[in-house]
């Protein structure tokens, strides 16, 4: 008899499945497995230097965390991917300890290999956990950051994520978040809503945060000195690389020896950034922000 009962896939299973299937393809975007966009800074980067811009976004996060003013800080990398940002920061702050948190087991395995290769095992570790429920005592982190990962948390205000961020930071501890946000909760025009839904599906997301609700939640939970910077024009030059990277990905796949059919996740991972590019042009509805503050 045919099994007619469809397995209910949880949000977490969807995220893990996506990152396990498409994870290695991030190599087409970044040789260091940076799984985020880049930051253009005049005098530091040029728009054609993608890897430099990707590292520059991490540098902007590091500067806002003020790690240089801390002694032997414990830094949490929430939704750490393969740990590229932690390893980058570890080269700049040689007295800091980094704890990467991700729910994807494959990322822990592969990320630990990259950390070993870089000789950083003493100061960069990775833990498989949900960033909304971490197996650590409250107040242990001196600093915490989330680069393009808070978007995976539940709801338009990402309450569970913000509450847990507040719990793990010590008083005076700093946080930085970088991500794409909705600018308001006005309904999107039909064509844009379709693009938005495609983008969410492809990246195993449920909904982007609303910047106003997110900021309100940060205040409500008790964060101080909150700073919200719209850096959309700074990340735009890295968006401009997307069509070329997507083309190159399909070209390399097509001409590869032992070519195997691409999974749905791999195709969506390669095409999703194109939807993201179009969303980026809808300036009334979406923006990219760097948000920082202190407990």
Ligand X SMILES: C[S@@+](CC[C@H](N)C(=O)[O-])C[C@H]1O[C@@H](n2cnc3c(N)ncnc32)[C@H](O)[C@@H]1O
Say how many residues touch ligand X, by CB under 6 A. 22
How far CA 106 is from CA of 19, 79, 96, 129, 135, in Å, comes to 8, 13, 25, 13, 19
The reply to whether 37 sits near ligand X by the rule CB under 6 A is no
To ligand X, the closest distance from the beta carbon of 234 in angstroms equals 16
Q: Which of 84/93 has CB closer to ligand X?
A: 84
Interacting span for ligand X (CB under 6 A) from 118-126, 129-137, 184-192, 249-257:
129-137
Q: Which of 74/98 has CB closer to ligand X?
A: 98
The reply to whether 80 sits near ligand X by the rule CB under 6 A is yes
| Alpha-carbon gap, residue 69 to 90, rounded angstroms | 15
Q: Which of 60/148 has CB closer to ligand X?
A: 148
Question: Which residues from 87-126 bind ligand X, rule CB under 6 A?
Answer: 101-104, 107
To ligand X, the closest distance from the beta carbon of 185 in angstroms equals 22
The reply to whether 168 sits near ligand X by the rule CB under 6 A is no
Q: Which ranges of the chain would DSSP assign to H, the alpha helix?
A: 11-22, 50-65, 84-92, 105-117, 159-168, 190-202, 211-221, 232-239, 242-254, 264-281
Residue 77 is encoded by which pair of tokens? 């990398």
Q: Dihedral through CA 131, CA 133, CA 135, CA 141, nearest 10? A: 60
The reply to whether 147 sits near ligand X by the rule CB under 6 A is yes
| Alpha-carbon gap, residue 150 to 241, rounded angstroms | 24
Q: Which of 104/238 has CB closer to ligand X?
A: 104
* 74-78/141-147 β-pairing: parallel
Q: For ligand X, which residue of 45, 56, 93, 132 counts as binding (CB under 6 A)? A: 132
DSSP string, 54-110: HHHHHHHHHHHHTGGGSSS-EEEEET-TTSHHHHHHHHH-TT-EEEEEES-HHHHHH
The reply to whether 148 sits near ligand X by the rule CB under 6 A is yes
Question: Minimal CB distance to ligand X: which residue?
Answer: 81
To ligand X, the closest distance from the beta carbon of 167 in angstroms equals 14
| Alpha-carbon gap, residue 4 to 140, rounded angstroms | 48
Interacting span for ligand X (CB under 6 A) from 90-98, 128-136, 182-190, 265-273:
128-136
The reply to whether 130 sits near ligand X by the rule CB under 6 A is yes
DSSP 25: G
Binding residues for ligand X, per CB under 6 A? Answer: 15, 19, 34-36, 79-81, 84-85, 101-104, 107, 130-132, 147-149, 152
């Amino acid at each position: 008899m045919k099994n007619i009962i469809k397995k209910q896939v949880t949000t977490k299973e969807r995220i893990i499945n996506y990152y396990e299937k498409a994870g290695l393809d991030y190599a087409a975007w970044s040789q260091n497995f940076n799984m985020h966009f880049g930051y253009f800074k005049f005098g530091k980067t040029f728009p054609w230097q993608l890897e430099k811009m990707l590292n520059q976004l991490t540098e902007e996060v590091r500067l806002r965390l003020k790690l240089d003013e801390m002694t032997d800080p414990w830094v949490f990398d929430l939704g750490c991917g393969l740990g590229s940002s932690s390893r980058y920061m570890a080269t700049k702050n040689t007295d800091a300890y980094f704890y990467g948190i991700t729910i994807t087991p494959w990322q822990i395995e592969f990320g630990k290999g990259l950390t070993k290769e870089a000789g950083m095992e003493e100061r960069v570790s990775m833990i498989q956990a949900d960033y909304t429920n971490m197996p650590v005592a409250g107040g242990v982190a001196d600093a915490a950051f989330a680069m393009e990962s808070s978007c995976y948390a539940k709801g338009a205000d990402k309450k569970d994520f913000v509450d847990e961020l507040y719990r793990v930071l010590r008083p005076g501890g700093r946080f930085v978040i970088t991500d794409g946000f909705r600018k308001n909760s006005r309904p999107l025009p039909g064509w844009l809503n379709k693009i938005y839904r495609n983008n969410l599906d492809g990246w195993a997301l449920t909904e982007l945060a609303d910047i106003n609700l997110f900021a309100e939640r940060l205040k409500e939970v008790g964060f101080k000195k909150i700073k919200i910077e719209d850096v959309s024009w700074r990340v735009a030059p890295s968006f401009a690389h997307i069509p070329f990277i997507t083309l190159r990905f399909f070209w390399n796949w097509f001409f590869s020896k032992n070519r195997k059919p691409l999974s749905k996740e791999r195709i969506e991972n390669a095409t999703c950034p194109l939807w993201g590019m179009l969303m980026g042009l809808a300036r009334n509805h979406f923006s990219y922000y760097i948000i920082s503050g202190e407990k």
